[in-house]
Amino acid sequence: MRIDFYYFSYQCPLNDNMLRLLDEYKDKSEIYIHDFSENRQIAEQMKIYFPTLTVLDGNKRYYSPLNKSFMEQVSQGVYPIECPYLPEQSDKVAEYYIKPIKLSDIDDACACCGSRTESNCCKKKSFLEKSRQNIYGFIHTDSNGNLVGGAEYLPANSVPYNVPHNDDIAFITCVYMSDSEFDYKTVPLKALEKYLKEKYSKVIAVSDEKGVFPNGNLEFFMRNGYTDEGIIFEDPNYCRLHLVSKKL
Q: Over 90: is that where the pLDDT of 105 sits?
A: no
User: Domain 97-247, what architecture?
Assistant: 3-Layer(aba) Sandwich (3.40)
> What pLDDT, in 10s, does the model give residues 183-222?
999 999 999 999 999 999 999 999 999 999 889 899 999 9
List the one residue out of 148, 147, 143, 165 whose CA is nearest residue 156.
165
- The gap between the terminal CA atoms of the chain, to the nearest Å, is 47
Residue type, 192: L
Q: Over 90: is that where the pLDDT of 110 sits?
A: no
Percent of the chain at pLDDT > 70 equals: 100
The C-alpha atoms of residue 205 and residue 212 are separated, in whole angstroms, by 12
List the one residue out of 85, 52, 54 whose CA is nearest residue 70.
54
Q: Over 80: is that where the pLDDT of 115 sits?
A: no
The C-alpha atoms of residue 245 and residue 248 are separated, in whole angstroms, by 10
> What pLDDT, in 10s, does the model give residues 38-84?
999 999 999 999 999 999 999 999 999 999 999 999 999 999 999 98
* Mean pLDDT to the nearest integer, 3-30: 96
The C-alpha atoms of residue 135 and residue 116 are separated, in whole angstroms, by 20
The C-alpha atoms of residue 201 and residue 204 are separated, in whole angstroms, by 10
CATH 3.40.30.10 domain range(s) in the chain: 2-75
Q: Over 70: is that where the pLDDT of 114 sits?
A: no
* Mean pLDDT to the nearest integer, 130-142: 93
β-pairing verdict for 30-35 and 2-7: parallel
Which H, E and C letters describe the chain, residue by residue? CEEEEEECCCCCCHHHHHHHHHHHCCCCCEEEEEECCCCHHHHHHHCCCCCEEEEECCCEEECCCCCHHHHHHHHCCCCCCCCCCCCCCCCCECCCEEEECCHHHHHHHHHHHCCCCHHHHHHHHHHHHCCCCCCCEEEEECCCCCEEEEEEEEEHHHCCCCCCCCCCEEEEEEEECCCCCCECCHHHHHHHHHHHCCCCCEEEEEEECCCCCCCCCHHHHHHCCCEEEEEEEEECCCEEEEEEEEEC
CATH code matching the domain that covers 2-75, chosen among 3.30.43.10, 3.40.30.10, 1.10.1040.10, 3.30.530.20: 3.40.30.10
Q: Over 80: is that where the pLDDT of 166 sits?
A: yes
| pLDDT band (50, 70, 90) for residue 142 | very high
